[in-house]
Structure 1
Amino acid sequence: MNDPAVQQAAREALALRQNLAHDPHRPQYHFIAPGNWLNDPNGLIQWNGRYHMFYQYNPRGAFHGTIHWGHAVSDDLVHWTDLPIALAPTPGGHDAEGCWSGCAVDNGGVPTLIYSGVFPQTVCLATGSKDLIAWEKPSTNPVIAGPPAEIRDASGGHFRDPFVWRVNGQWHMLMGSKVDGAGGLVLLYRSDDLVEWQYVGPLLQGDVNQTDPFWTGTMWECPNLLDFGRRQALIVSAQATHAEFLYPFYASGHFDGSRFAPEIQGVLVHGGPSCYFYAPQAMCADDGRYLLWGWLREGRSEQLSIEAGWAGVMSLPLVVSMELDGRLCVEPAEELASLRREHWRFENIALSDGTDMLLDGVIGDTLEIVARFEMASGGEFGLKLRASPDGREYTRLMVRPAEHQVVINRDHTSLNEDQDRDLGAAPIPPLANSALTLHIFLDRSVVEVFVNSGMSSQVSRIYPSLSDSLGIGVFSRGGSAHLLSLDIWQLASIW
């Protein structure tokens, strides 16, 4: 692009990236902002064949505040080019305190962003140039000034994250909200022109007392509705009573145009008690795939992030699919295989009780790993990641057959105590045979794990302090195990 604004943005982004390139915890093949703060993915859209990702961004530091919309573009879902900031708060405007989450649509050839202006929380628009570089906010903002009067929300502030799509020439919008004392809520609106909106009613109301199969929280953010034909899936991100992040979850069922009737529910991606995966947004690509990204939160103190100069990572590009029974699967996009470089392969390794060893010649902190185990009946077995030769630092990825869980144990992840240590766990889905497959992406401080073709998945964050914490190992305790095959690839940087 020869646009001077684009070239200037690229120079500034490159300078930020180069300044942080020495950081041993900064991911290399996940999308990450040039510096400072990143949270929710926004405005995902494929425009003229190119993938555009907008994201919540604070250019003033590695903390949440003065939220803008960052912007990047990709031709292959893997490598990204930084573009100029798309949205910035307008002093004295309806988004003076931040341009919060929203989406992007093609309105008859006009790229349009629909987002939350704060405070109070309202719905605003911005229209873009044909190359999606320059954006203007119309005088009609806000197009929705607040939640419907009948919604009981004592704070008056929970009305955000528009998700918009068009059916038969009419626009539909979902908004995240809550009802005091009752639970999370998704609201439904309709419009013919994206400006005048009619409130239809609640799409789905949560139950704050529901605990089976899991608690759905008190507030629902970042709604998405995905249409798989035979069923639809509603995805929301749940908050607890004091705005603690819980997890993104989905309900599969049927949308009749006004209401959503759920049939089954499930956690989309497990992020542990600290919720490392949150606020996902999906888009329908030109090839028909539903692509989804989520915000990977940090697992260390805010002060350490501020000192590092960056916080927040985007997940890998994930493909969402639905099983016949309505369960959702998330798997890494196949395009990521283009990053594979050096390859190691091991086969038929018997792990007797007490085995704990590092693999000869295998080191790295930017790896893709595919491990196939024969499922045992007891004990625990698995892999060690980011292990130091002296045994002082390592992270265990543990299979616990008796508990039907894959667990990430960070008790010895780092000698630095100023980071999270809690256990993260994801359920082991029913197995078609006795083989369990773990597909792992290790990117310095990021660990993403997909179990049996994405039927279950989880994310964690690790921050080893030793420069030689690069080893990969295997272990078994409390019983024997059989590692059928182990493939490990070194992955190239996308920068």
Structure 2
Amino acid sequence: MNQSRRNFLASIAVAAALPPASFAEASAALRPAAALAQDPLRPQYHLLPARNWMNDPNGPIFWKGKYHMFFQYNPGGAIWGDMHWAHAVSEDMIHWKHLPVALAPTPGGPDADGVFSGTTFVKDGRVGMMFTGVRKPTPEEEVLRGSSLIESQCIAMADNDELTSFTKVKDAVIAAPPPQLQTNGFRDPSPWKQGDWWYTPIASGIAGAGGAILLYRSRDLRQWEFVHIFAQRQQWFEAYTPWDVWECPEFFPLGDRHVLIFSTYGKAFWQTGRFDAERLLFHPEQQGILDHGSFYAPKTQLDAHGNRILWGWIQEARSSAEYDAAGWSGMMSLPRVLTMANDGTLRYRVADEALALRKLERSAAGADATTVKLENCCGEALYRVHRGDKAFRLVLRGDRTNDIWMTVSYDPAHSEQIQLDYRPFETASGGTSEVRLHVDGSVVEIIVDGQIAWSRRFYYKGAQQAALLKWEGDAASLLEAKWWQMKPISADRLTT
């Protein structure tokens, strides 16, 4: 069951009516580490906490020679609630060490009931965080604002270069949305510096119109003024709901254009186009979906080489009762390098740092590559296929189950398309396609021709299985297959 924060926020009014208690008290008892380590569905080379719930990546940053990842985290259980910012550090974006929680709610503060998503920034040689704090309203506020949760924008500054201690600015720096707008949601700041000004988009929705992104500016990161509506729902969204909020917006340059990303309706979207820096207007020219599967609330960062890296929250696709019982929920995607094609569309590839995990390389072609086996569901496979006049299908399944976890197929009647789980996608790569799959525990991240991304969750019962990739159909269309086992990033599946 895919769930975004929009669903959770919609249910807070119900939760607020319950007796005062942490959201986490509804979760199952914390599972012991041994049980978590033995869970075959836990990934072995994706980032996730040792236990409990995680969601959005927050403020990934390369700082003083190390990569820091912060993310939404519930320290008390495997269900959503009691939002903190967890913290992990890495030298290569692949191998991670968990550090103490970076941000926790402050009793009586603007974030008393949750530290929601945001972004890191650097000012005067010091790392800061701009994030959304949430608290329950007073009875008067609830009547005035018609909301069961007060969202405001807050700032915390790092006390050291290890980013292990932060001091919060006491009061919210943007306390409320513009009074002239009737908004749904007000969260997820993502500041950038331009000239003498700081700017930040903020996620929102306009009543009767749908998702929108508000633009603010400040000279000192403390006093902010509303500029205008930076982006909002256009015709390519055919419908909206009262809860439509364009969550987790981020705006950045890439190549000779700018990119706007945001999340809504359970998917992460992108727009590329031209930015008028004088009038602060964005003119989108192309648009699409960053990942068509279980992938939400992405954030980006620059790596040590200046590449734009995309991270996303890979959600669960099972019931809350199941992941509550498992004792963990969610994971971070692998780091993906974003580039801009000449036509203004985005291209993706898993960062080269992941290559260090490969071992036991094998390769074959045609009939010799009809079955590829990845032990313990922990491997990578690369297929080069010919889209000609013969149909084919690549099936991902377990070695002890008849369940099909994922399919990649081709129908010569639609030679310009590749189908993922029978959903067609156009690919502009001529008659040859490259299909890259990273299989890990209960997820497969697929990228086709660098243009189409799909994060697919799969689950099975019982003991550890191997992943099988079965080629069906025309063997001559399989030009080459390469596959590797992947080295786990920890000895016990706890990725610590």
TM-score between the two structures when normalised by the length of structure 1? 0.84
In the aligned structure 1, how far is the partner of 2:374 from the partner of 2:458? 19
Counterpart Cα distance in 1 of 2:165 and 2:38: 33
- Does residue 431 of structure 1 match 2:420? no
Partner of residue 467, structure 1: 463
Note the C-alpha offset of 1:41: 0.0
Question: By percentage of residues, which structure has more helix?
Answer: 2
CA 1:378–1:226: 2 relative to 1, 3 Å: farther
CA separation of 1:116 and 1:471: change in aligned 2, threshold 3 A: closer
Q: Could you say which residue in structure 2 is the equivalent of 1:235?
A: 261
User: Structure 1 unaligned runs (5+)?
Assistant: 1-14, 240-244, 352-356, 410-422
Write out aligned runs for 1:34-433 (5 A).
34-119=50-135, 120-130=150-160, 131-139=162-170, 141-153=171-183, 157-207=184-234, 209-211=235-237, 218-239=244-265, 245=266, 247-257=267-277, 258-271=280-293, 276-349=294-367, 358-359=371-372, 363-377=375-389, 379-388=391-400, 392-401=402-411, 402=413, 405-409=417-421, 425=423, 427-432=425-430
Structure 2: distance between partners of 1:235 and 1:53: 19
Q: What is the aligned-residue RMSD (CA, Å)?
A: 2.3
Alpha-carbon offset, residue 443 of structure 1: 0.2
Shift in Å, 1:481: 5.3
Cα drift, residue 68 of structure 1: 0.3
* 1:456 paired to 2:452: yes
Q: Sort the Cα spacing of 1:462 and 1:200 in 2 relative to 1 into closer, same or farther, 3 A.
A: same
**Normalising by structure 2, what TM-score?**
0.84
Gapped runs of 5+ residues in structure 2? 1-30, 136-149, 491-496
Distance in 1, matches of 2:374 and 2:74, equals: 38
Distance (Å, rounded) in 2 between the aligned partners of 1:362 and 1:442: 8
Could you report, residue by residue, the CA deviation over 1:342-388 in whole angstroms, capped at 9, with x for unpaired residues? 1221123389xxxxx644x7644101000111113454411333232
Aligned equivalents of 2:174 and 2:436: distance in 1? 43
CA contact (8 A) 2:130 2:155 kept: yes
User: Deviation string for 1:388-437 (max 9, x for gaps)?
Assistant: 2xx5234242213345554454xxxxxxxxxxxxx7x46141123x2111
Q: Equivalents in 2 of 1:363, 1:46: separation in Å?
A: 33
- Work out the CA distance in 2 between the residues paired with 1:106 and 1:468: 44
- The equivalent position to 2:489 in structure 1, one of 484, 487, 494, is 494
Q: Is the 8 A contact 1:387 1:395 kept in 2?
A: no
Q: What is the CA distance between 1:19 and its match in structure 2?
A: 4.8
**Does structure 2 conserve the Cα–Cα contact (< 8 Å) formed by 1:379 and 1:400?**
yes
In structure 2, C-alpha distance between the alignment counterparts of 1:332 and 1:18, rounded to whole Å: 31
Q: Per-residue CA shift, 1:21-45, capped at 9, x if unaligned?
A: 1111000000011210000000111
Give the 3-state SS of the residue equivalent to 2:322 in structure 1.
helix
Equivalent pairs counted in the alignment come to: 440
Partner of residue 484, structure 1 = 479
Retained in 2: the 8 A contact 1:364–1:490? no
